Amino acid sequence: MTQPNNPPPTDFIRDFIEDDLKTNKNDGVVAVRFPPEPNGYIHIGHAKSVCLNFGIAAQYGGTCNLRMDDTDPAGESLEYVDSIIHDIHWLGFDWQGRLFFASDYFEQLYQFAVALIKAGKAYVCSLSAEETREHRGSFTEPGIDSPYRNRSIEENIDLFARMRAGEFPDGEHVLRAKIDMAASNIVMRDPIMYRIKREPHFRTGTDWVIYPMYDFAHCLSDALEGITYSICTLEFENNRPLYDWFVEQLIPGRRPRQIEFARLNVSYTVLSKRRLIELVEKKYVSGWDDPRMPTVAGMRRRGYTPEAIRKFAAAIGVAKNDNLVDVALLEHCVREDLNERAPRAMAVLRPLRVVIDNYPENQVEEFECPNHPQNPEMGTRKVPFSRVLYIEHDDFLEDPPKKYHRLGPGREVRLRNAYVIRYESMVKNEQTGQIEEIHCTYDPETRNAPPADGRKIPGVIHWIAADHAVPAEVRLYDRLFRVPEPKDENYTADLNPDSLAILAKCYVEASLKDTIPGTGYQFERLGYFCADLKDSRPGKPVFNRIVPLRDSWAKIAGSPH
RNA sequence: UGGGAGAUCGUUCAAUGGUAGGACAACGGACUCUGACUCCGUGAAUCAAGGUUCAAAUCCUUGUCUCCCAGCCA
């Protein structure tokens, strides 16, 4: 299959870079970075940024660093670092060895801070957190200067050294930039550069008790790495003047350009780290890789492919508008990708026993079934057929409505890749009235051929030969939330109680018995499924539904959805 | 309320003073041994009001609405 030649994406950030390239702004250098804080797993929103940054680097012959923004030891860990590395690789990107940590710059950053003190542009402030807040003013009122603002340079250097040496308890002092307490932009009102925090850091251990703040560390890390475009999300727009201020004071001449774009929101899920952590910790989901989670790990386990996620990232574009992207677009991208690459197979989720009365008792035929209807290169597989089968319970109706193409009293239907069968009778449970079994006859002439008399068979249904059926557990996933935009407060009330349905007694065709976890199949007429990465075992497969097929019958019949 | 940013089909991204276009979603049809896929088609938008211009989504003015900022988080 030939890939359509997609034109390279365009957006306002690429336009900006191309303008620079035309004027040879940074000697043609395009250096970007993806800077996650290792305090959680990355999710589809990060994936957008990963695709953006690595995509830009690739497109313009530049580089993209991976930098762990580990300036606040609370909540950060190696587990998260490892997961981030794994997830970005899985998404299909590589930083060619340029993995950095903000914590690698701690000493350098400390020296920068000292330099700023010596320049009379930073001071040790001994206000409490609460006093600091009060001094900061409000949106409408200017702040007032800290009483410690005019400490001598010598005293500041001494105090800052002793902060580092661990002479003070947490919160006793902070280092602040001396800018302007009356600035209309609150970010510029003598922002805090360092705080004392006795929290072991997963990389530097207890070497440090002072840690740089984001605003101080991030811009200088960018400058140190020679980043030319520092792409971040919209909420940092207010911080850009401060970003520029620190670079200007300390590494003048290097001026990474911060460009902000709108973070991604997706309907029927949540993407804030706080809420994702809560879903995991309060066990609303089974973990960061729960297949319902919007994390990269969750989507991988669900069976979404990297290609689908990249396709989605390209489809949503990059702009500055607040957005709420319909999850249907993500699902569309997953289907589009899987439709091309997923081999077809048959599985019966809610089995109904069917006996073919005129089929010989002990006969077994093997049908050669194509693995893909449009792509013969994907080959064929053998599927056994015998007298007793299972079909989907939905595919038989005692009293079918108009337009129903499946099996019912007096009806014929084609068994996919096999014969046409005709309904003869049914067996009901005497107590419950449930249909337990139906009896049919088959037309031997219809294997690989339409009925000889030219009659039309309106329906095709899937099936499994009972003697060869492999029992399987199938997990049906639905959206995690029942509303498009879960409310901020008490969002757990919006959780979808039906986001997971476990079907313990399903059957899959024999070829799937030892299926490799993680590879996607289309179970024909049902959807895309893959064996679960964690729980599936050879001989005892457990399948996740990745996404159902589009179902225009469900619309006609009036689906519960 | 001060500052910053943004308003285009239901959703999302384009159109960079010159035919408002694509994708998703919706709806209709064709095809079909998957009610899938594919194909064809339909409906659907410039926040408002003024102004500049031969011509405005785009420029100007005024207004409206939404988002972000008062962590020793990022």
Q: What are the pLDDT digits (tens) for A495-513?
A: 999 999 999 999 999 999 9
Q: What is the mean pLDDT of residues A15-37?
A: 96
List pLDDT tens digits, range A203-217: 999 999 999 999 999
Nearest to A511 by CA among A557, A551, A465, A455: A465
Q: Which residues 32-91 of chain A have a CB under 7 Å from nucleic chain B?
A: 35, 37, 69, 71-72
Q: What is the mean pLDDT of residues A221-238?
A: 98
Give how far Cα A505 sits from Cα of A389, A414, A465, A485, A498, Å: 15, 24, 15, 34, 18
Contact A557, A542 (CB under 8 A): no
Q: Smallest CA–C1' separation from A332: which nucleotide?
A: B24
User: What are the strands, taking DSSP E only, across A153-296?
Assistant: 174-177, 192-196, 210-212, 229-233, 257-261
Q: Please identify which of the residues A37, A365, A424, A437 carries the catalytic annotation.
A: A37
Q: Which residues 339-358 of chain A have a CB under 7 Å from nucleic chain B?
A: 339, 344
Q: Smallest CA–C1' separation from A400: which nucleotide?
A: B35
List pLDDT tens digits, range A17-27: 999 999 999 99
List pLDDT tens digits, range A447-467: 989 998 989 998 999 999 999
Report the share of chain A in percent with pLDDT over 70. 98
Q: Which residues 306-335 of chain A have a CB under 7 Å from nucleic chain B?
A: 315-326, 328-329, 332, 335
Bases of chain B below 7 A from a protein C-beta are: 1-8, 10-16, 22-27, 33-38, 66-74
pLDDT at A3: 39
List pLDDT tens digits, range A165-220: 999 999 999 999 999 999 999 999 999 999 999 999 999 999 999 999 999 999 99
Q: What is the mean pLDDT of residues A328-340?
A: 98
pLDDT at A5: 53
Please check whether strand B approaches the CB of A9 to within 7 Å.
no
Please check whether strand B approaches the CB of A139 to within 7 Å.
yes
- Is residue A37 part of the annotated active site? The answer reads yes
Show the tokens assigned to A526: 């049902």
User: How many C-beta atoms surround the C-beta of residue A15 within 10 A?
Assistant: 10
Please check whether strand B approaches the CB of A275 to within 7 Å.
no
List pLDDT tens digits, range A103-145: 999 999 999 999 999 999 999 999 999 999 999 999 999 999 9
Residue nearest to nucleotide B74 (CA to C1'): A214
Contacts 24+ apart (CB under 8 A), A322-329: A322/A234, A322/A262, A322/A265, A323/A262, A323/A264, A323/A265, A324/A265, A324/A266, A324/A267, A324/A484, A324/A485, A325/A264, A325/A265, A325/A266, A325/A267, A326/A266, A326/A267, A327/A266, A327/A267, A327/A268, A327/A269, A327/A479
Dist CA A241 CA A280 (whole Å): 36
pLDDT class of A556 with cuts at 50, 70, 90: confident
Show the tokens assigned to A84: 């981030």
Please check whether strand B approaches the CB of A15 to within 7 Å.
yes
pLDDT at A417: 97
Q: Smallest CA–C1' separation from A173: which nucleotide?
A: B72
- The SS3 assignment for A529 reads strand
pLDDT at A489: 80
Please report, rounded to whole angstroms, the spatial distance between the CA atom of protein residue A327 and the C1' atom of nucleotide B12: 11
pLDDT at A147: 98
Instruction: Examine the pLDDT at A237 and tell me if it is beyond 50.
Output: yes
Dist CA A433 CA A216 (whole Å): 72
One-letter amino acid at A415 equals: L
- Is residue A537 part of the annotated active site? The answer reads no
pLDDT at A2: 33
- The SS3 assignment for A530 reads strand
Q: Please identify which of the residues A121, A263, A416, A482 carries the catalytic annotation.
A: A263
Q: Please identify which of the residues A197, A255, A273, A416 carries the catalytic annotation.
A: A273
Nearest to A72 by CA among A112, A93, A42, A103: A103
Dist CA A74 CA A19 (whole Å): 41
- Is residue A263 part of the annotated active site? The answer reads yes
Dist CA A191 CA A251 (whole Å): 19
pLDDT at A488: 78
Please check whether strand B approaches the CB of A129 to within 7 Å.
yes
The DSSP bridge partners found for residue A396 are A407
pLDDT at A559: 46
User: How many C-beta atoms surround the C-beta of residue A459 within 10 A?
Assistant: 15
pLDDT at A487: 86
Say how many CA atoms lie within 13 Å of A210 toward its Cβ.
28
Q: Which residues 185-224 of chain A have a CB under 7 Å from nucleic chain B?
A: 185-187, 192, 195-197, 211, 213-215, 218
- Give chain A's mean pLDDT: 96
Nearest to A463 by CA among A397, A359, A383, A543: A383
Q: What is the ipTM of this complex?
A: 0.97
